[in-house]
Amino acid sequence: MFKCEFCEKFFSSKSSLTLHTRTAAFCLNLRGESALNLSCQYCEHKFSRPHSLQIHLKTCRVKPIKVAEETTGELQNLKEKEKTLNQKNLKNVATMSSLKLKCDKLEKTVIEQNQESEKQRKKLEKTILEQHREIEKLKSIVLSLDGLDKIVDERNDEMVKLKKIIAQFEKDEKNYIEKNFELEKQLAFERGRILEASKPKTLNHNYKCSTKNKLASVPTDNIRPFTVETIRANLHNYTYEDFLMGPKGLIKFLKSIIMNTNENGEVERNYVCTDPSRNNYFRLEETKEWDSDRGALYIEIFVDEMHRPTSNYFDQLCSKVIDRTDTFNREYNAHLVEELKPFYQGVLRPISKERDVLLTTIKTGIKSSASL
């Protein structure tokens, strides 16, 4: 036996007890809870259990009446809808006939347009064939230019090697002059004579001290040395817009390599000019020591390294001139080609008037920034 803990009524099974505690109205009132208020949708008779409601719906007398009323109402609605649909069908028949007439007219226009498009297609095919022939000619020209580019690259590599040899020779010559002067001085003292010869201007003690002091004051903690490897590592920063600026864009790119502002706001440099009137430049090496670059010969090495991106950007500009789809900018791009041709030749031709003019422009452009 199972006893309800609220109303103390006994039940034969646990399921009966749980059903009682969940649905018995008097037991729910004792607990202060409200019973389920389930009502019939037809006669509004109330029940406390869903099972009782389901049994009632099977035997409800009001249900057939209400269902009949609902079905008659639905039949009337369906009849009214049928009338409206018939009226709409009549209208649709009239619209269909007018649409057929329009379709016939459209079909005629489509046929005419197809004939016209076929004529235009044939014309386009002819133009495409002509353009294809021109492209083949340009490809043959490009292949010949690629061969020339390889020769130019080889010559540029040879020029870079020769310039390095010349720079090393000048460095060795300077060391030789210094050693020779010291030996002459030592020999004069050994013979009991006073050396009257004056030291060369480039080896003047006061000049050397002032130059060393200037170079020692240049901050170089975070900037990379000015070497060929540094130039090549920064080539991706030389943009097409810089190329369109000509020598000014090249000077701007060079300044971004030789100058850098650190976190303290100090301007760090790896290429400086100690005497602008004599073109005495010094370059920071990988050992963090300053190497003399008299005459700014390393700027020419920098220009040689700019051959590849300059050639690519010039080819890109020439392709825009050949492009027939952009007729609006063709004249402007053609004007740019003529304007940038001397600059392009100055970069690609090591021994030429254009190269001399370009080097002079670059030296003039960086003097104020590189001067100490």
Look at 107 and 327; give whichever has higher pLDDT: 107
Averaging pLDDT over each range in 8-17, 171-180, 332-341, which range is the top one? 332-341
Of 36, 60, 84, the one marking the end of a domain is 60
The set of long-range contacts for 342-351, using a CB threshold of 8 Å and a minimum separation of 24, is 343/246, 343/247, 343/250, 344/310, 344/311, 344/314, 346/303, 347/250, 347/303, 347/306, 347/307, 347/310, 347/311, 348/152, 348/307, 348/310, 348/311, 350/155, 350/156, 350/159, 350/300, 350/304
The answer for residues whose C-beta is within 8 angstroms of residue 224's C-beta and 6 or more apart is 230, 233, 270
Has residue 363 been placed in a domain?
yes
Q: Quick one: pLDDT band at residue 176, thresholds 50, 70, 90?
A: low
d(Cα 226, Cα 218) in Å, to the nearest integer? Answer: 14
Closest CA to 250 of 332, 153, 155, 363: 363
Has residue 209 been placed in a domain?
yes
Q: Looking at residue 196, what is its pLDDT?
A: 40
The string of pLDDT tens digits covering residues 47-103 is 767 777 778 878 887 778 878 877 888 888 888 888 888 888 888 888 888 888 888
The string of pLDDT tens digits covering residues 60-69 is 877 788 788 7
Q: Looking at residue 195, what is its pLDDT?
A: 37
Averaging pLDDT over each range in 6-15, 131-140, 303-312, 327-336, which range is the top one? 303-312
Helix axes 62-190, 307-322, angle to 10 degrees: 130
d(Cα 51, Cα 22) in Å, to the nearest integer? Answer: 13
Q: Is 295 helix (H, G, I), strand (E, B) or coil?
A: coil
Has residue 80 been placed in a domain?
no
The answer for residues whose C-beta is within 8 angstroms of residue 351's C-beta and 6 or more apart is none
Has residue 165 been placed in a domain?
no
Closest CA to 313 of 209, 233, 240, 232: 240
Of 42, 60, 78, the one marking the end of a domain is 60
Closest CA to 297 of 282, 275, 308: 282
Q: Which helix (H) or strand (E) holds 272?
A: strand 271-275
* Cβ–Cβ under 8 Å, residues 198 and 192: no
Of 15, 36, 60, the one marking the end of a domain is 60
Has residue 350 been placed in a domain?
yes
Closest CA to 333 of 348, 347, 303, 313: 313
Beta partners for residue 46, in sequence order:
39
Q: Quick one: pLDDT band at residue 200, thresholds 50, 70, 90?
A: very low
The string of pLDDT tens digits covering residues 6-48 is 887 888 888 888 878 777 777 777 776 665 667 787 787 777 6
Q: Looking at residue 305, what is its pLDDT?
A: 92
Statement: residue 261 has pLDDT above 70: yes
Has residue 35 been placed in a domain?
yes
Where in the sequence is the domain holding 39, given as residue range(s)? Answer: 2-60
Q: Is 289 helix (H, G, I), strand (E, B) or coil?
A: coil
- CATH number for the domain spanning 33: value is 3.30.160
**Rounded to a whole number, what is the largest CA-CA distance in the chain?**
150
Query: In Å, what is the CA distance from 194 to each residue of 187, 191, 197?
Result: 10, 9, 9
Q: Looking at residue 250, what is its pLDDT?
A: 94
* Average pLDDT taken over every residue of the chain: 81
**Tokens at 41, concatenated:** 């949708």
**How many domains does the chain contain in total?**
2
Has residue 68 been placed in a domain?
no
Q: Quick one: pLDDT band at residue 188, thresholds 50, 70, 90?
A: low
Has residue 250 been placed in a domain?
yes
Q: Looking at residue 173, what is its pLDDT?
A: 64
**Tokens at 198, concatenated:** 């004056």
The string of pLDDT tens digits covering residues 206-228 is 555 677 888 888 888 889 999 99
